[in-house]
Amino acid sequence: MSTLADEKTPYPNSIPDVDLRASHAPYTLDTHRPFPEYKTKAEWERKRKWIRDRVLVSCGLLPLPEKTPLRTKIFDRVEREGYTIEKVYFQTYPGFYLAGNLYRPLTMQKGEKHPGILVAHGHWANGRMANQAEGSISARAITFARQGYVAFTYDMIGYNDTRQVDHRFANTPKHWLWGVSVMGIQTWNSIRAVDFLSSLPDVDKRRLAITGESGGGTQTMMLGAIEDRLAATGPCVMVSHTMQGGCLCENAPNLRQDFFNVELAAVVAPKPQIIVGASGDWTTTTLTMEGPSLAKIYQFYGKPEREQHVLFNYGHNINQTSREAVYRFFGKHLLGAQEESLLKEPPYQMEPVAELRVFPDDKPLPSDAKNAEQLTQWLMQKGEEALEHYKPHNGASLAEFKKIYGKIWEHTLSVEIPASSRLKTKSESASTALGGEGVRDNLQVGRVGAGDRVPVTLITPQAGAVVSKVHLIIRPGGRKSLTEAEIRDAVTNQFAVAILDPFLMGEQEDAKLLAQRQRPFGEFFSTYNRTNLQERVQDVVTVCAYLRSLWAEAKITLIGEGEGGLIAMLAAPSADGVIADVNNLDFTNDAALLTEDHYVPGLRRMGDVATALLLSAPSPITLTHTGSKFPATARLREVYSALGISERLTIE
C-alpha cells in the first residue's frame, strides 16, 4: 500500500491501480503542498471564486448572516504624544461582544479622512496586550496612528475582554455539524470590525486594511479572501506551504481540502499585499516558494508592484524589523508616502494593561451577554431561519434557493460535478454480450488528478443503443449484488442500469483502510480530508457525469437501498430523480449523523437531505421507510405542493 506521509503531490491523470484517496495517509495541517500551476488568469479566477465560496460555507457564513446593529460604545479617551486611545466594544451578533482599543492621530482636521486598519493579534498569552521584543500589538497601533491611520486592535475569541466564550469554543462534531466553529465566529467578528471602522466619520472607506501575525495572519488571509472593502492586507509569519495553523480558530471543517494558505493569500490579488516570513519558522521559504507563487498571480493582473514578500532572520515573531516592513508597504499604498524615514517605528510606551481593558475582571459583561450554550443555540436557530426564509414557493424562489443552497451543497458535501473533459475511464475486461442483445461492461471511472477509482458495472440494452433512461443503483453490496432479474428487466424494457462500488464499499471495502480513516471527529481531520460520506456522494456524482457523457439526453434516476439511500438523497442534485430508502434513520436529533459513515460537517446547517432533494426539484422523488422521525417529509410536501408538482413526490 502506498502512503503519503508529508507531501501532497498532484494525483496522476490516469485511473490508478488503487483508490489513492483511501491508500494515502490522511492529510494534516503539516502536509507539504506545492503551489498549483495556473496557466491563465481565467483558470485562477475560477479557483479564486471557488475559494471565496468555500471559506464562507466552511465558516457557516453563507448565506451571510444579518448585520444587526453594532450598538458601539467608544469611551475613556486619553491623549498621548501624536495619538489618542479609546476603549471600544460592540455587538457582532446580538448579545455577543467584541472588544478592543481604537488608536487615532492626535490632531485631525474637521472632515479629514484617514485610512482605517485592523490589527489582528496572534496566540500570545496576553492577546492584544502582548508587548515584548518578539512582538507588540500596541507598538503597531501607536505607530499607525502617529503615521495618520485610525487603527483598531481587537481580541481573538476568549482573550482579554472578549471572554464570553473561551478560545476552544465550538470544538465538538455536533457544533461542526451545524456549521458553528470558533473560526467562523472569529471571521464574522473581523467582518463586523470592518463595519465598525467604516462607520467612523474620520475613516476613509476606500482605504481599509488588515495586518496580523501568526493566528492573526490566518485571520488576515481569511478576511482578505471574502471582504471586498479591504484595500490592502499584510499577513505575517503564516503564509506557508508547510504549516497551515495549529489552532481551532485556524481550521474550520471542510476548509482546506483542495487549497492551502498560499492560495488563500492569493485570493486578495490584485489588491496590495505584503507577506512577511521568518527564517526560524514554517515561513522560511518565503523568498523561494510562497512569495514567487503569489507574484505569479499578481502578474496575471499586470500589477506585480502590488505584491511584496520579505524574509527576516528571526524566529516566529513580529518584531520591529518585520513591523517596519509592513509600515513601509502600507505607507506606499495607503498613504502615498515615499519617505522611509517617516515610516519607521519611533520609541513608544504601551499603556498599563488595566488602562486598556474594556471589561476588567472586576467589571461584569453587559447583562445580555450570551454564554457558550446560548450562543450555540442562537447560531443553530439562525441557520434554521435562513432555510425557512429561502424555502421555495414558486419558480423564482426556487431559482434563488438553488443559487444560494446549490453552493452550500457543493461545499458542504465537498463535491464537484465534473466536466466530461475531467473524466477518465478504464475497462476491466471486454464487453460481455447478454441475452436479448444486452451488453455488460465492467469499468472504472475517475477524474483527472483526483486519484479516484470507482468500479462500475454498466448494462445497456444493446451495443450502440440510444438510451433515454438510466437507473444508477447505490447499495452496500455494490456491483456484485446486481441480480440477473435486474439485468433482464433492463434489457427487456430498454433502459440502462449502472451500479457502482462507492468509496470503501462493495469490493472496495477494506477494514485496514477504513480503520486508517476512523478519525473524522478529530479536531482537524475534516479540515483537510473528506469524510467517508462526502467521498461516496462524490462517487455517485462522478458516475452521473460519466453517464451523461454517454447519453446527454438520458434521464438518470438514483436508486439508493439501505445505506445507499442516504448517499442517493445527498447526491440528488446531480441526477433527474431519486428513489431512496431512508432506512428509518432518526433525523430528529443529531446522533444518527454523528457516526463515521454518516458524518458531514455543516450538514445540519445545509438542511441535510431535505435541501439536497429540493435542489433536484422539480424532479420526481420517491422515499421509502421514512419512519416517524424524518422531518424532511413536511418540508418536501410543502414545497412540492407550493410548486404545483405534488404528484412527483411519493413518501412511504
Tens of pLDDT along 230-244? Answer: 999 999 999 999 999
Three-state secondary structure call for residue 301: coil
SS3 assignment for 154-201? ECCCCCCCCCCCCCCCCCCHHHHHCCCCHHHHHHHHHHHHHHHHHHCC
**Is residue 9 over pLDDT 60?**
no
Question: What is the grid cell recorded at 502?
Answer: 462507492
Q: Which residue has the higher pLDDT, 64 or 338?
A: 64
Confidence class of residue 182 from pLDDT cuts 50, 70 and 90?
very high
What backbone phi and psi angles, to 5 degrees, belong to 142?
-65, -45
Lowest mean pLDDT among 27-41, 176-190, 454-468: 454-468
**Mind listing the pLDDT tens digit for each residue in 78-108?**
999 999 999 999 999 999 999 999 999 998 8
Give which of 430, 356, 436 is closest to 159, Cα–Cα. 356
Domains, in order of start, for the chain: 73-382 (3.40.50.1820), 403-651 (3.40.50.1820)
Question: What is the grid cell recorded at 90?
Answer: 460592540
| Residues contacting 208, CB < 8 A, separation 6+ | 115, 116, 117, 118, 194, 197, 198, 229, 230, 231
| Residues contacting 484, CB < 8 A, separation 6+ | none
Mean pLDDT of the chain: 94
* Burial group, residue 372, by CB count within 10 angstroms (0-12, 13-18, 19+): middle
Report, in angstroms and rounded to the nearest whole number, the Rg of the chain calculated over CA atoms.
27
**Is residue 521 over pLDDT 90?**
no
Is residue 344 within 8 Å of residue 325, measured between CB atoms? no
**Is residue 359 over pLDDT 60?**
yes
Q: What percentage of the chain reaches a pLDDT higher than 90?
A: 87
For residue 550, how far is the Cα from the chain centroid?
33
Is residue 496 within 8 Å of residue 461, measured between CB atoms? yes
